[in-house]
Chain A
Amino acid sequence: MSSGRRRVRWILLLPCAALAVMVYFFGVSLGRDPGLVPSPLIGRAAPEFSLPELLAPGSVFSLQDVEEGPWMLNIWASWCSGCIVEHEFLMALGRAGAPLYGLNWKDAPADAREWLQLRGNPYRAIAVDANGRAGIDWGVYGAPETFLIDAKGIVRYRHVGPLDEAVFSQAFLPVLEGGAQ
């Protein structure tokens, strides 16, 4: 009788075990989101770079060339498909006069210029990071990524993947408009 009772108890533990397995898988699925990868840069000063300007051969683009106030740095490349997805939205931002700067990452400048010619240029200026050196400093995970830097030069936010209206108005807009006042 007592052994029978113990067996029943183990059966009663089955639902609990099933739950544990489920929770494990969900945990893994959630953890796969690269959006979870926090950027160590957030709250720190934007890393310096001094790189050739894509559309003005011979000139150099560095943090000093960024206009006063908060700004955005968009990591893109002509081979990157997510960049095509977000491009229409970036163009809208560019037309609205958003302080959007580009970092052309691990790309051939000729390809990049052709790409922009085809689709339009939303950027105020574009740095060429052909070998990805600056990308390492910024902790770039893949393209596209967009960083938000406030008026004091502190990185405030990083978005992985194509930028869209919802993310922009939620995470970027408050800082951009707050700094504009």
Chain B
Amino acid sequence: MTPRRRRMVAVIGGLVCLAAAAALVLTAFEQNMLYFYTPTQIASGEAPEGRRLRVGGLVERGSVRRLSGALEVRFDVTDLDRSVTVAYAGVLPDLFREGQGVVAHGWLGADGLFEADEVLARHDENYMPPEVAEMLEEKGHPPDASLR
């Protein structure tokens, strides 16, 4: 091969590798984007089933229940309009508390139960999961119904 043809081959080979890598990266990116849904959005059927997503809100007081001392725990996450029940079989984070903000990662089942594989609470006293904070902030505006 002449140097010129060799260079051509190298460039084309490089481009092919690059395109393959870009395709891989983009697919991975697409698959790993986790969208955030509020309990209201889930209750009104906006969230897709069978796709990993995040849901966040406050843990409803008195809603944390364990099935007869088993590891699996269920609790309701609410945005104070609607709530969604989350099931989680694992060790809850240290700062998980009733009445506090949480974000759960997982899948929404056909029965409306959210199967979480990861539950995040605040890291410290000042931290509120950003989505929950924003959701609450938006809820800081009066709902139409209560403008009586």
Asked whether any CB of A lies within 8 Å of a CB of B in the complex, the reply is yes
Check if A34 is an interface residue, CB within 8 A of chain B.
yes
Which among A85, A106, A142, A144 is the interface contact of B146 at CB below 8 angstroms?
A: A106
Check if A173 is an interface residue, CB within 8 A of chain B.
no
Known contacts: A80-B140, A81-B139, A88-B99. The answer to whether A165 contacts B146 by CB under 8 A is: no
Check if A164 is an interface residue, CB within 8 A of chain B.
yes
Check if B76 is an interface residue, CB within 8 A of chain A.
no
B58 touches A164 (CB 8 A): no
Residues 99-148 of B contacting A (Cβ, < 8 Å): 99-101, 125-126, 128, 133, 135-137, 139-143, 146-148
B133 touches A79 (CB 8 A): no
A79 touches B137 (CB 8 A): no
Known contacts: A142-B137, A143-B140, A161-B133. The answer to whether A79 contacts B146 by CB under 8 A is: yes
Bound Cα distance A17, B136 (Å): 36
Interface residue total, chain B, C-beta cutoff 8 A: 21
Check if B18 is an interface residue, CB within 8 A of chain A.
no
Bound Cα distance A161, B133 (Å): 9
Residues 53-88 of A contacting B (Cβ, < 8 Å): 77-82, 84-85, 88
Residues 83-138 of A contacting B (Cβ, < 8 Å): 84-85, 88, 105-108, 111, 130, 132
Q: Apart from A82-B139, A85-B136, A143-B140, what 4 extra A-B contacts exist at CB < 8 Å?
A: A34-B137, A79-B80, A82-B137, A161-B133
Give 25 pairs: A residue, B residue, CB < 8 Å, sorted on A.
Answer: A34-B137, A77-B146, A78-B146, A79-B80, A79-B146, A80-B139, A80-B140, A81-B79, A81-B80, A81-B135, A81-B139, A82-B140, A85-B58, A85-B99, A85-B101, A88-B99, A106-B146, A107-B146, A111-B146, A130-B148, A142-B140, A164-B125, A165-B125, A166-B125, A166-B126
A contacts, CB < 8 Å to B: 34, 77-82, 84-85, 88, 105-108, 111, 130, 132, 141-144, 161-162, 164-166
